[in-house]
Amino acid sequence: MQHSFRTLGVSAPVVEALAASGIHEPFNIQTLVLPDALAGLDVLAKSPTGSGKTLAFTVPIVERTSPNGAQPAALVLVPTRELCLQVASTFAAIAKVKQLTVATVYGGAPLPAQAKRAKTAHVIVATPGRLQDLVQRRLISLDKVRILVLDEADRMLDMGFRPQVEKLMRELPRERQTMLFSATLFGEVDELARAYTDSPSRFEAESTVEEDADVDHTFVAVTAADKLDKLIEELARERGLALVFVRTKRGADRLASKLVRRDVAAVALHGDMAQKAREKALARFRAGQVTTLVATDVAARGLDLDDITHVINFDPPEDDKGYVHRVGRTGRAGRTGSGITFVLPEQQADVSRVAARLGHSEQFEREGMSVAAPRRVYTSRRSRRSRW
């Protein structure tokens, strides 16, 4: 059965606002989550980046929040500034139909101004560290929040935000709706869910990159001496926006500078940059003023750009999850994309295992590299629904 937003319980004004933004049919994760989320139930959702999960919680928040109620009424916690702005942008498209205001709270921006806006907003989208700072200074109270969302919960915990998240949750009313979205529901995420949710509905919509997108996977053997030249060759033959991943912040700056010196329009993005510099870099990339963005994993978290045609792993990801997260930035919204991974001789064994577990051994061997025996078996799960 083909669902529509209306059949899932979304009101006509919100459906019209979504249509005005070019969104007409719900994605799989939205179809799974919306009925229970709109009913006010706690939700645990396992869903990859790019699956449409943001609307799975922004729509219920808009539908269940009164413009005349106590403020702030809803809180969305996210791991990075970029994702904070991205989620707020999604809210903006539909919140106006209910006359709801949305405030962002993140580091690197003036604290008093953020506190003033957040105090009177219906919805706050925040990173844990800065919000905890506002709460500790008594610049804002969370005792009226009735809906809590933890977005990309696994990344928040990976980044060490668990203490701040748990302190913030203790500031919230016990009677609330909690929705948690994550690429995994195991380990610390599972512990957090069990501690702070009440009989949640659990949804899984995990899939590998090739199931959700039309992406070509290529592995390129390189040496330390020719690595930069091969990157420039790849960038020269492609015309779309390219996202290049590196391991470190310093590495991002260095590589972007080297590319600029070789007449490649490139800019770096990493966590040590001031917020204005980060926003400027992203704006230039979105507008196509620069066609290559050199980024670290943390800085690129939350990027949601449909026009990225190529993801190049200048430094290979550390594991399967990293590969799926990175390459998932291309081939979105029905478009095709390419994932290209550079492999030094000493990296071949580890990268070959990632390729094998994700089903890309053939592409890896095309370059003449041998595939090492995988240390574990990668499995993917089809969408399913269950109750805890």
Q: Residue 209: what pLDDT?
A: 42
In a domain, 308, yes or no: yes
Classify strands 201-204 and 43-46 as parallel, antiparallel or unpaired. Answer: parallel
- For residue 148, pLDDT over 70 is answered with yes
Does one domain contain both 199 and 223?
A: no
CA–CA gap between residue 186 and residue 367 (Å, rounded)? 36
Question: Residue 201 pLDDT more than 90?
Answer: yes
* Claim to verify: residue 199 and residue 218 sit in the same structural domain: no
Give Cα separations from 342 to 9, 80, 166, 355 (angstroms): 47, 27, 39, 12
| 254 within a domain of the structure (yes/no) | yes
For residue 108, the model assigns a pLDDT of: 80
Residues 198 and 244 in one domain: no
Statement to judge: residues 137 and 222 lie in one domain: no
Residue 61 has a pLDDT of: 98
Q: What is the CATH number of the domain that holds 349?
A: 3.40.50.300
- Contacts of residue 105, Cβ cutoff 8 Å, sequence gap at least 6: 84, 114, 118, 124, 125, 126, 127, 130, 131, 134
Residues 230, 160 share a domain: no
- 376 found inside a domain: no
Co-location of 54 and 153 in the same domain: yes
Same domain, 223 and 193: no
The dihedral through the CA atoms of 57, 58, 63, 68 has a sign that is: positive
Count: domains in the chain: 2
Distance in angstroms (rounded) separating the CA atoms of residues 244 and 294: 5
In a domain, 385, yes or no: no
Boundary residue ending a domain (143, 174, 204): 204
Question: Same domain, yes or no, for 261 and 139?
Answer: no
pLDDT at 74: 98
Interatomic CA distance for residues 50 and 90, integer angstroms? 13
Distance from C-alpha of 76 to C-alpha of 110, rounded to nearest angstrom: 20
Residue 370 lies in a domain: no
- Give pLDDT, residue 360: 87
> Within 13 Å and on the Cβ side, how many CA atoms surround 201?
18
User: Do 196 and 221 belong to one domain?
Assistant: no
Q: What is the pLDDT of residues 302-349, one digit of tens each?
A: 666 768 889 999 999 988 878 888 888 887 666 788 999 999 999 999
Nearby residues of 140 by Cβ (< 8 Å), 6 or more positions away: 72, 115, 118, 119, 131, 134
Tokens 């960038």 — which residue?
235
Residue 27 clears pLDDT 80, i.e. is over it: yes
Q: Is 55 exposed, middle or buried (0-12, 13-18, 19+ CB in 10 A)?
A: buried
Tell me: cis bond preceding 72? Omega within 30 of 0 counts: yes
The reply to whether the predicted model has a pTM over 0.85 is no
Whether residue 114 is contained in a domain is answered as yes
Q: Are residues 230 and 103 in the same domain?
A: no
Q: Lowest mean pLDDT: which of 27-31, 142-146, 147-151, 333-337?
A: 333-337
Same domain assignment for residues 275 and 352: yes
- In a domain? residue 80: yes
d(CA 241, CA 38): 37
- Domain range for 300 is 211-365
Within 10 angstroms of residue 330's Cβ, the number of other Cβ atoms is 30
pLDDT above 90 (res 95): yes
380 lies in some domain: no
Model confidence pLDDT, tens digit, residues 233-265: 999 886 689 999 999 999 999 999 999 999 999
- 192, 224: one domain: no
Mean pLDDT for all residues in the chain = 87
